Amino acid sequence: MKRNVERAPAARAPSDSPPDPAAPRMAQLYTVQQAAALTGLSEHTLRYYERIGLITPVLRQESSGHRRYGPADLARLDTLACLRATGMPIDQMRRYFELRATGAAGANAQQALLSAHLQEMYRRMDELQQHIQYVQLKIDYWRAIEEHDEPAAARIAHEAEELIHSNFGRRHS
How many angstroms separate the CA atoms of 6 and 80, rounded? 44
CB 33 within 8 A of CB 18: yes
* DSSP for residue 87: T
CB 94 within 8 A of CB 87: no
Does 90 have pLDDT greater than 90? yes
Q: Give, rounded to a whole angstrom, the gap between the first and last alpha carbons of the chain.
A: 92
Q: Band the pLDDT of 3: cuts 50, 70, 90.
A: very low
* Mean per-residue pLDDT, 101-124: 97
pLDDT tens digits along 117-166 = 999 999 999 999 999 999 999 999 999 999 999 999 999 999 999 999 88
Does 167 have pLDDT greater than 60? yes
CB 68 within 8 A of CB 61: yes
* Global confidence as pTM: 0.71
Residue 9: Cβ within 10 Å count:
5
121, 122, 125, 126 alpha-carbon torsion, rounded to 10°: -150
What is the overall mean pLDDT for the chain? 85
pLDDT tens digits along 6-30 = 333 333 344 444 555 555 555 689 9
Distance of CA 157 to the CA centre of its chain: 37
pLDDT tens digits along 52-70 = 999 988 888 888 888 899 9
How many angstroms separate the CA atoms of 47 and 32, rounded? 8
* DSSP for residue 30: B
Q: Which of 59-63, 85-89, 96-100 has the lowest mean pLDDT?
A: 59-63
Question: Could you tell me which residue, 13 or 95, shows the higher pLDDT?
Answer: 95
Element housing 68 (H / E): strand 67-68
* Mean per-residue pLDDT, 86-114: 97
Does 2 have pLDDT greater than 70? no
Does 109 have pLDDT greater than 50? yes
Structural domains present in the chain: 26-85 (1.10.1660.10), 90-173 (no CATH)
